């Protein structure tokens, strides 16, 4: 098919080249005849120029028509090639899908055969165990399912008990004790001690004031202060010196 297309393309190319050469010759002849007609003013040159121009137009029309047909044929050929390529891709995809289906089917058949063999072996083992133990070993899926459910429940209860024990044994965090903030104690007001020097008549009163605590102080203290002078005596002595 490709060879036929190449031969057709080569034939069309040769015909197009010939038509283009003939069209160029006719156009050149028409130009030359037109120049001769203008210069020599001859009727023969005018007829030749008209005929050459007419044939050049006709040949040009045929060449344009053929080139358009060639373009349309090339577009159709391209479309056909694309369709063929797409159909080839679809065929390959279908083959791959069919192979995958066959592989999965064969694998399923092998798995089924393996399961059947396992069942047969289990049946043989069950019969052997029944013969050895003297009792029939039956397959009871309901009981097995109930036992499995019971085992799961026991395990979940055990896990919950262990978790509760861990939580109870975990040391509790002691709450921080908030100490009361001490209130600021007001500072004591300064005590002003005024010492006034009184006149002599008051010395006796002061002597009696100072003598009162001395009398209440006890015998030992009174005995210790018998030989000493009191503050009032000293003040009185100082006042006498100033008066002198």
pLDDT above 70: percentage of residues in the chain: 62
Instruction: Render 111-169 in DSSP notation, one character per residue.
Output: HHHHHHHHHHHHHHHHHHHHHHHSS-----HHHHHHHHHHHHHHHHHHHHHHHHHHHHH
Q: Look at residue 226 and tell me whether its pLDDT is greater than 90.
A: no
pLDDT digits (tens, 9 = 90+) for 105-119: 999 999 989 999 998
Q: Look at residue 243 and tell me whether its pLDDT is greater than 60.
A: yes
Terminal CA-CA length for the chain: 165
- Spacing of C-alpha 114 from chain mean position: 45
What dihedral angle (degrees, nearest 10) is formed by the CA atoms of 47, 50, 55, 56?
140
- As to burial, measured by CB atoms within 10 angstroms (0-12 exposed, 13-18 middle, 19+ buried), residue 57 is middle
For the whole model, what pTM was predicted? 0.33
Helix ranges (DSSP H) in the chain: 2-40, 43-133, 141-169, 201-216, 219-224, 231-243
Structural domain spans, the chain: 2-88, 143-168
pLDDT digits (tens, 9 = 90+) for 165-214: 777 765 555 555 555 565 555 554 444 444 444 444 444 444 444 444 44
């Amino acid at each position: 098919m490709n060879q036929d297309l190449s031969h057709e393309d080569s034939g069309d190319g040769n015909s197009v080249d010939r038509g283009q050469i003939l069209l160029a010759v006719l156009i050149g002849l028409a130009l030359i005849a037109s120049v001769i007609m203008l210069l020599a003013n001859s009727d023969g040159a005018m007829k030749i120029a008209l005929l050459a121009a007419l044939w050049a137009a006709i040949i040009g029309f045929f060449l344009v028509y053929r080139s358009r047909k060639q373009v349309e044929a090339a577009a159709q050929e391209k479309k056909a090639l694309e369709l063929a390529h797409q159909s080839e891709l679809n065929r390959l995809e279908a083959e791959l899908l069919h192979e995958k289906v066959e592989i999965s089917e064969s694998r399923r058949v092998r798995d089924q055969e393996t399961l059947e063999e396992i069942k047969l072996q289990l049946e043989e083992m069950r019969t052997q165990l029944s013969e050895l133990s003297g009792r029939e070993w039956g397959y009871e899926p309901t009981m097995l399912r109930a036992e499995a459910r019971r085992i799961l429940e026991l395990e979940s209860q055990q896990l919950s008990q262990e978790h509760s024990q861990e939580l109870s044994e975990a040391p509790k965090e002691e709450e921080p004790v908030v100490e009361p903030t001490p209130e600021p104690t007001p500072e004591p007001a300064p005590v002003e001690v005024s010492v006034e020097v009184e006149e002599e008549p008051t010395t006796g009163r002061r002597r009696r004031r100072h003598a009162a605590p001395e009398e209440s102080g006890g015998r030992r203290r009174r005995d210790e202060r018998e030989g000493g002078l009191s503050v009032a005596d000293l003040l009185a002595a100082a006042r006498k010196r100033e008066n002198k």
